[in-house]
Structure 1
Amino acid sequence: MKAVCPLCGREYEGIIPPKCECGGRPRFTYDYSRVNPRAWKRRKPGVWRYKELLPPAKKIISLNEGGTPLFKAKLGEELSLNVHIKDETRNPTGSFRDRLASVAVSYGLTYAENGFIIASDGNGGASLAAYAARAEKEAFVVIPHKVDRGKLIQMIAFGARIIRYGDSVDDAIPYASELSRLNGLYDVTPANNAVGIEGQKTLAFELWEELNPTHVLVPTGSGTLLYSLYKGFKELQTLGLVEEVPELIAVQTEKCSPIAAVLEGGKSKREFTKALALYVREPPFLEEAVEAVRESGGKAVVVREEELDVGEKKLAREGVFGEYASAVVVPALMKLSEGGYFERDDRIVLLVTGSGLKSFQEERERSMISGTKLEILRILGEGEAYGYEIWERLEKPMKYQAVYQHIRELESLGLIEESRRKGRRIYYRLSPKGRRILENLEG
């Protein structure tokens, strides 16, 4: 195995830089003449089934990641299409990033004397925390201020050291790189080190063994998953196992769609989206993602925020609980189907990349907090207040009793709490949970 710059041909080994001196991104290559795919079938399913096409590791750190289920979707019958779901929520920490973490930690053990670090908006941080714990190494996770609570709880439970920095993962990436340099930490952030992407490409190998799809719908934020899949299918092509790469379809939300804008034209929005794992304003793998889609003959699809709930519910009826960032593939499929994009004999895969258990509670709370309730939280964000005082400050034509109903509901959600009493007056304040919700809502 070696990493080669596609622009100038320079070769790298050991710690691979994110960019070559000429500006190209080094890509891992292997001696494909020595790969025997027949040997894969004698091994148990999982990432390391394909070890000849993965970076070498003196010690493999594994939690039996990969080998996730692929099954036929009922939705396909409704659309008269052959649709399958690849359920990556079945990975050890509930997302496809476990593939990255296993390979990155295994390869990086040689260079991680002081531990590992990653910049992440959630799933990657949870994965690294678990695998570093397994390897008995410290994990440092740089996260933006907006992170799904379930993912943060995972990181803490696995013993990671949490560093909050910036509004989105875009801000966290260069900070993690600097901390890595200053503290001798092995950085496994995909934008700073492509080694983990080699683990993610095993998704392509599994899909080929299971179905050999013609189309794959891919939730897209940073662009790393698109590139991983493309690289995996290109290697299968090099081995003579597939004739062509399946059409890769990048799916983004209308609020954050920089990759889709390049591919399909239109305005590039970079706003906060409730599909939090797709909130990447400056995708580090934008060029590679665009290459993957164009070279595979695919396209990009943008879905509206309100379509995310529809996608989640339809996935739930399939028996899969995916986070919003995964649910985007369902409305995308429906749009393409309505437009006559697919043929009846196409073999279509929906990638469900992360579990809804990580984000469900907080996202639902956010969806419930709007209008008057949000204004009450804002008032209490400035300091404690009692009911009549809140009613006066709202300056809305509503009954005093209605305000108290909102207060009781906010209290039942655990977003506000009683701070003190003075006579008959009950003063309220934000709870820690309410303050966090308000900060996330206000962006």
Structure 2
Amino acid sequence: MNDLKVNLNFLYEKPVWNTPLIKLKQESEQYNCSIYAKLELFNFTGTHKDRESAAVILDMKKKGYNELACCSTGNAAISISAYAYRFGFQAHIFIGSDTPEEKIKLIKLFKPKLHIIKGSFIDSFKASMKFIAKRKVYNANAGSCQAKLIGNSYIGREIAKKLKPTIVICPTNNGTLLVGVGMGLKKEHVKAKLVAAIAPETKIAHSIKGFSHLEEPKLTQIIKESNGTIVKVSDEEIKQAMINLIKQGLIVEPAAAVSIAALNHLNLKKKDKVCCVITGTGLKYPTLIQKVLG
């Protein structure tokens, strides 16, 4: 463990982060304004969750923890398990029994102690909080972990430095991503409307099903401060957004396409510069992608 501090230095170096920010030609033409995509699918495990996991590991080391617990719909579990495995920490992962099998197989690769809880994400969240209180391990849950917000703030900072957008759209469930991105924009003194793209009743975007908003009251506050809004999208809109992105060479998971689907619900003007955060790759879940798109 003595070398851990040195090894962790790479986590925030510029070559590691700075994920691509590209202009989407098809969407820009469709909505008659400038639409960009921040491609978080290029992180180590294929999602923005790696930003959170890096910050969690740094915080654990600083505070002297060796074990963590986290509930997840899948992507956070894969990411935090990978980082814990890499740096010699023990991860306790709590997932609902409705978690897709493809995600479970990937989580198991990184040897966490897996707790599959009967029920939904909220059921696994409650179980994890009881475990944390009893075992006194590091709490890596959304809504309780400032480190995760800090990790996501680097996304906002990178967007601000390269684009200075008028609108930023984030797929939203707990709100950890949106709050973190908002923190990053504020750090760089860039004002943009924050849009929480949600799909609470979705049957295909498992990662954001339900809209748990665990980051309250921060989530509502940061949306209100930015003069932003919450947009609800349908599964049909998500599917179409996925197809449009595939035509442009981007294979994304359904939850990641929600930021693109949300464009349909905004009153966009020609002068707008919109950044859609694309949170995760679809390459990890070929069965799911094939099922969704037929």
TM exceeding 0.5: yes
Q: Calculate the TM-score normalised by the size of structure 1.
A: 0.61
Q: CA RMSD in A?
A: 2.2
Q: For residues 64 and 120 of structure 2, what CA distance do their matches in structure 1 show?
A: 26
Moved more, 296-305 or 199-208: 296-305
1:140 and 2:70 are equivalent in the alignment = no
**What is the 5 A alignment of 1:210-225?**
210-225=162-177
Q: Which amino acid in the other structure matches residue 52 of structure 2? A: L
**Who is 1:280 aligned against?**
210
Do residues 289 (structure 1) and 219 (structure 2) align?
yes
> Quick check: 1:236 aligned with 2:188?
yes
Structure 1 position 251 matched with structure 2 position 223: no
1:110 Cα deviation after fit: 4.2
- CA shift at 1:58, angstroms? 4.8
What's the offset of the Cα at 1:344?
1.1
Contact 2:23 2:35 in 1 (8 A): yes
Alignment of 1:43-442 (within 5 A): 58=5, 60=8, 62=10, 65-75=16-26, 76-111=28-63, 113-237=65-189, 242=190, 245-253=191-199, 256=200, 271=201, 273-336=203-266, 341-362=267-288, 364-365=290-291
Q: CA deviation at 1:203?
A: 0.6
SS at structure 1 position matched to 2:283: helix
Could you tell me how far 1:130 is from its partner in structure 2? Answer: 0.9
1:272 positional shift: 5.5
Shift of 1:98: 0.3
Say whether the 8 Å CA contact 2:161–2:188 is kept in structure 1.
no
2-structure distance, mates of 1:311, 1:180: 38
Secondary structure of the residue aligned to 2:114 is strand
What is the rounded CA distance, in whole Å, between the counterparts of 2:239 and 2:63 in structure 1?
43
**Rounded Cα–Cα distance in structure 1 between residues aligned with 2:156 and 2:140:** 21
Distance 1:306-1:252 versus aligned 2 partners, 3 A rule:
same
Contact kept? 2:142, 2:174, Cα under 8 Å? no
CA distance, structure 2, for counterparts of residue 217 and residue 301 of structure 1: 9
- Which structure is richer in relative contact order (CA contacts within 8 A, separation 6 or more)? 2
Cα distance in 1 for residues equivalent to 2:98 and 2:37: 29
Q: Please tell me whether the aligned partners of residues 74 and 95 of structure 2 are also in contact (alpha carbons under 8 angstroms).
A: yes
Q: 1:175 to 1:61 in 2, by over 3 A?
A: farther
CA apart distance, 1:303: 1.2
Distance 1:316 1:335 in 2: 21
Q: Give 4+ residue runs of structure 1 displaced > 6 Å after superposition.
A: none
Larger gyration radius, structure 1 or structure 2? 1
The change in CA–CA distance for 1:366 and 1:347 in structure 2 (over 3 A counts) is closer
Contact 2:55 2:148 in 1 (8 A): yes
- What residue ranges of structure 2 are gaps of 5+ in the alignment? none
TM-score, normalised on structure 2? Answer: 0.89
Contact 1:180/1:186 (8 A) holds in 2 = yes
What code does the residue aligned with 1:345 have? K
Letter in 1 for 2:193: E
- The answer to which of 323-332 and 284-293 deviates more is 284-293
| Deviation sequence 1:329-380 (CA, Å, 0-9, x none) | 22221332xxxx1221211111100111233413644787xxxxxxxxxxxx
Change in Cα spacing, 1:145 to 1:61, as seen in structure 2 (3 Å) is: farther
Q: By how many angstroms is 1:133 displaced?
A: 1.1
The total of aligned residue pairs comes to 286
Task: Mark the CA change 1:113 to 1:204 in structure 2 (over 3 Å): closer, same or farther.
Answer: closer
Structure 2 residue identity aligned to 1:351: V
1:222–1:280 CA contact under 8 A, matched in 2: no
Rounded Cα–Cα distance in structure 2 between residues aligned with 1:328 and 1:214: 19
For 2:10 and 2:148, the matched residues in 1 are separated by 13
CA distance in 1, matches of 2:278, 2:103: 16
Question: Residue deviations 1:246-299, cap 9 Å, x none?
Answer: 01111112xx1xxxxxxxxxxxxxx45321111135321243222222111112
Residues 98 and 136 (structure 1), Cα distance of their counterparts in 2 relative to 1, 3 Å cut: same
Q: Which consecutive residues of structure 1, in runs of 5 or more, have no partner in the other structure? A: 1-56, 257-270, 369-443
Identity of aligned residues (%): 25
- Following superposition, the deviation at residue 193 of structure 1 comes to 1.9
